[in-house]
Amino acid sequence: MRKKAPANSKVDTQRVLHELQVHQVELEMQNAELQEARGRMESLLEKYTDLYDFAPVGYLSLDEAGRILEVNLTGALLLGLGRAHLLNRHLPSFIVPESRVIFLAFLKRVFSGAGKQVCEAPIVKANGTKFWADFHGTSSASVNGPKKWCRVVVSDITVLKRAQEAQLRVEELAISNRELRREIVRRQASEKSLKKSEQHQVQLLAQSQFMQEQLRRLSRQVLHAQEEERKRISRELHDVIAQTLTGINVRLSTLAKEAGRYGNGFDKRVANTQSLVLKAVDTVHNFARQLRPAVLDDLGLVPALHAVMKTFTAQTGVRCNLTAFAKVEELNPDQRTALFRVAQEALTNIARHARASRVQVKIEMIGETVSMRVMDDGKSFKNTADAKASKRLGLLGMRERVEMIGGTFAIDAIPGQGTAVVAIIPLLQSRALPASSSRKQN
């Protein structure tokens, strides 16, 4: 039995050696697998680190207070600080004050477990620059304890915001352009309508001016025809009717001499008839003078004015004074007639309305014009504008007569001091007229 022992020991030793070799091979295989697994883990870690740190967006881990627990390189770059300086800092401190309430409400929704939340707010970087950030947050549970935290993804949307603002401005500009085009169309229509209206007004104005000129011509023709008709009727009254009445009176005188033949009382009846005829003659003469005094055509303007002023003084008791330059009678008949009619109408108005105590008529030469002023010291117009605005036919007639011969007509009224009727006509004579002389009618 002892002789067989060495053989068994040798077998056991070989078996153990074999087992050790097998175990070594297994360990080497396991070591190789571990090395391979470690390589894969390092590769995955490198990929994870690359994906996490160099992602195009910022990744932050925040607690409920908003403190930064983790941040990738992109997030640190967005905030403008290194990761070591960002840990445990409050992310809301980077939000502009006006938007912090909105961001805190966003965090509250994230930690409430309501799912993915979105928020937009402007961030102020460490260097003071601002950019618009888009936040996407989801709640997560802590592996090492009950502490809550969340993942927040941050991206710079400044370009998008600017594009949106630009788009909004473009839309607003488009709206403004549409409104502007509508306004342009409206104004063009208004301008076209205004041009039509202006053309129509120009046509109406031209028609009105043409009609006014026609009326002015007609008025002047009427005045001229009226004056000529007055002259004709005055001549007829003076030369025909008055002479006829005078002839009748002569015949009555003859009958009066023969009254004895016809019985008692006949001579008285003839005398009464003669008296009526004389009154008729006086009436005809007065009527003829009122129509157009023969003295104006036979003797001139100054004697005619003297006659009118004498009659005016006799009827009203108002004293009159006439001053005229010596050669006033060298004015043409139309000019003399116009001045006479203006003075006659002015005296009529004074007798009716002025309550004057004295009247002065002054005709003088001023440069290349002849001026006539009929002045009274009675009740005047309140102002010159009232006189110009007056629609009395007498004033209109005076103005029309003066303008008909190329002159100007005006009324100077001074309250409490009287009124002056002024007619200024052009001096048509080629040679100058001498200085004035005075003629008076009291």
105-135 pLDDT, tens digit per residue, is 999 999 888 789 999 999 999 888 999 999 9
Query: What's the one-letter identity of residue 305?
Result: L
C-alpha dist (Å) from residue 179 to 169, 394, 398: 15, 60, 60
CB-based contact 77:105 (threshold 8 Å): no
Report the 10 Å Cβ neighbour count for 361.
25
CB-based contact 309:441 (threshold 8 Å): yes
Give me the pLDDT at residue 434, please.
41
Helix (H, G, I), strand (E, B) or coil at 261: helix
Q: Which residues, listed in sequence order, are joined to residue 119 by a DSSP beta bridge? A: 135
Categorize the per-residue pLDDT at 372 as very low, low, confident or very high, splitting at 50, 70 and 90.
Answer: very high
CB-based contact 325:360 (threshold 8 Å): no
The last residue of a domain, from among 156, 174, 189? 156
CB-based contact 301:329 (threshold 8 Å): yes
* Of 313 and 2, more confident: 313
* Average per-residue pLDDT for the chain: 80
Does 411 reside within a domain?
Answer: yes
Does 188 reside within a domain?
Answer: no
Does 21 reside within a domain?
Answer: no
Q: Mind listing the pLDDT tens digit for each residue in 169-181?
A: 999 999 999 999 9
Report the 10 Å Cβ neighbour count for 10.
10
The answer to whether the pTM exceeds 0.85 is no
CATH number at residue 363: 3.30.565.10
Q: Mind listing the pLDDT tens digit for each residue in 71-89?
A: 999 999 999 999 889 999 9
C-alpha dist (Å) from residue 36 to 31, 32, 43, 48, 414: 8, 6, 10, 18, 127
Give me the pLDDT at residue 442, please.
44
The last residue of a domain, from among 156, 187, 216? 156
Does 66 reside within a domain?
Answer: yes
Does 315 reside within a domain?
Answer: yes
Question: How many domains is the chain built from?
Answer: 2
C-alpha closest to that of 425 among 359, 338, 329? 338
CATH number at residue 107: 3.30.450.20
Look at residue 138 and tell me whether its pLDDT is greater than 50.
yes
The last residue of a domain, from among 156, 190, 215? 156
Query: What's the one-letter identity of residue 34?
Result: L
SS percent in the chain: helix, strand, coil, step 5:
65, 20, 20
For CA atoms 379, 383, 389, 395, the dihedral sign is: positive
% of the chain with per-residue pLDDT over 70: 72
Does 272 reside within a domain?
Answer: no
Would you give the DSSP letter of residue 372? E
Look at residue 432 and tell me whether its pLDDT is greater than 60.
no
Would you give the DSSP letter of residue 3? G
C-alpha dist (Å) from residue 97 to 92, 94, 122, 127: 9, 9, 9, 16
Note down the domain range covering 414: 296-438
Look at residue 431 and tell me whether its pLDDT is greater than 80.
no
Supply 81's token pair. Answer: 């600080």
CB-based contact 139:148 (threshold 8 Å): yes
* Of 214 and 287, more confident: 214
Does 327 reside within a domain?
Answer: yes
CB-based contact 401:433 (threshold 8 Å): no
Does 418 reside within a domain?
Answer: yes
